[in-house]
A and B are shown apart, each in its own frame.
Chain A
Amino acid sequence: MTKSRPALEFKGRMLSITRVRILDENPTAIEAQLKTFTRSLGEAAEGLPLLLDAESPVGLKPILAAMRAVGVQPIAVVEGPLSEAARECGLAILTRDMISDGAPRASAPVESVRAAPAPAATPVAPAERRPARVVTEPIRSGQQIYAEASDLIVMTTVSPGAEVIADGCVHVYGPLRGRAIAGARGDVHARVFCRRMEAELMAVAGIYAVADQMKGALRGVAVQAYLKHGVLTIDKLDW
């Protein structure tokens, strides 16, 4: 009496993709920079999904080879000058509409783009805000809470392996041990606030920092994370 199961299961997922703009086609320069980049990220670079973009057409094959050689995964290009080359190499092509990217391109350490969970249109103007979502239960490993078009307020713990995501700000009043993502649709004014920062990752509008980048005095204390001139800044919350 085995139950028949569907062949496919569809699930909406937030996926963090690092966007790479190809400024110089020179393979040696690209190779060198990739090496420095992956070294600086350490283990986090392993399998890192990349989205490629360029102002003018470039030969993709050597670039893809160089990227794969250092362990990162180019998976798609932004529609435009790279589209044709991407079709030849079997890469996906994402339209600019599919990428809600409000983050400034300034001196961010790593620039990332957050694909919306549903195929929604990119909000051009600031979207309408709903009342904040308040969660009183602990958020356990493997759980994902998304506050669409609002702030998210978590009264208790966010466990390691859990994700709290909001289009607005994220507030966590217990220990924050998982991932907290504010401004999921690109609001660069969103912030993450927490009473005890032990996070695996914090992000605002796609600019993120992983635990390795948030060591030292910031751990275990109350902090806020926000964007200052496009750079993710984490400050202690004491006065």
Chain B
Amino acid sequence: MAKIIVVTSGKGGVGKTTTSASFATGLAARGKKTVVIDFDVGLRNLDLIMGCERRVVFDFVNVIQGEANLRQALIKDKNNENLSILAASQTRDKDALSEEGVEKVLNDLAKEFDYIVCDSPAGIERGAHLAMYFADEALVVTNPEVSSVRDSDRVLGLLSSKTHKSEKGEGRVREHLVLTRYNPVRVEKGEMLSVKDVQDILAIPLLGVIPEASAVLTASNSGAPVILDQNNEAGQAYDDLVARFLGEDRPHRFVEVQKKGFLSKLFGG
């Protein structure tokens, strides 16, 4: 049975698409057949971050509206055959998504894939609602600042009340906290909320802390999910996150200020 995982946050620009891309890539790298869907109809981004924007012919909305079949619309990742991408339409808006249509596409994908990752748009309106509606699990992406935390809290409320699972009384969506853009130095100075502060407010299990790193932006611009860069802290943190999601026990890294050793001081590492 395929698992549907929504990557959501409420607030925009916190790293949902970055997380979706790296998470899906990480699952595929571990041999799981994975598809990642861009629900941000009208503001298509995922294809850029996955580096497949030049290969988009048909998109999610085409499939929902019966203008193309799934096989035509799914884009296979260049590097990993376990990974497919379903791009959003750039020319339509979120009204083009219907609950029945989304359900049918997800059911069809479930026959073929182990994991279906839904990259939610920001906000709590139609697109975000449909992205989370059929989810089994949710990665709630939060930045260590108060407005992001409050929006995530709002989204957690919706996950517990406005999803298929909760409305049908089939249990609840399993929630995971993903704290992105974390900078221990700034936390220590009191400029950012700490992991503990955020957990205290949201009270859900922590899946991963992704450190603030310039490599994330570079990766996005070059169309290679940052998890592929295992020399980088953010890439390593995403790898830990995927391992933890699949049940491995890994300690959280990059949450404390690193003491600089003699050599790194010397070489500015």
Contact = CB atoms under 8 A, between A and B. Distances in A.
Interface string B134-165: 00000000000000001101101110110000
B192 interface: no
A104 interface: no
B98 A141 contact: no
B105 interface: no
B177 to A, nearest CB: 13
A157 interface: yes
Interface in A127-148: 137-143
B65 interface: yes
Given A1-B65, A159-B201, A141 B96 contact: no
Interface string A158-175: 011110000000000001
Which size class do A's interface residues fall under? 10 to 19
Which size class do B's interface residues fall under? 10 to 19
A140 B98 contact: no
A16 interface: no
A233 interface: no
Contacts of B98: 1, 3
Nearest to B156: A140
B248 interface: no
B185 interface: no
Contacts of A107: none
B95 A143 contact: no
Nearest to A156: B203
A2 interface: yes
B95 A160 contact: no
Contacts of A141: 150-151, 153-154, 157
B150 A138 contact: no
Nearest to A177: B201
Nearest to B65: A1
A93 B156 CA distance: 40
A1 B150 CA distance: 34
A1 B96 contact: yes
A1 B156 CA distance: 30
A141 B201 CA distance: 11
A140 B95 contact: no
Contact of B160 (A3, A137, A160, A177): A137
A156 B156 CA distance: 14
A161 B156 CA distance: 13
Contact of B157 (A1, A3, A142, A175): A142
Contacts of A1: 65, 96, 98
A2 B65 CA distance: 11
B199 to A, nearest CB: 12
A1 B65 CA distance: 8
12 contacts: A1-B98, A140-B157, A140-B158, A140-B160, A141-B151, A157-B203, A159-B153, A159-B157, A159-B201, A160-B153, A175-B200, A177-B201
Interface of B: 65, 95-96, 98, 150-151, 153-154, 156-158, 160-161, 200-201, 203
Given A140-B156, A141-B154, 7 more contacts: A140-B160, A141-B157, A142-B158, A156-B203, A159-B201, A162-B157, A177-B201
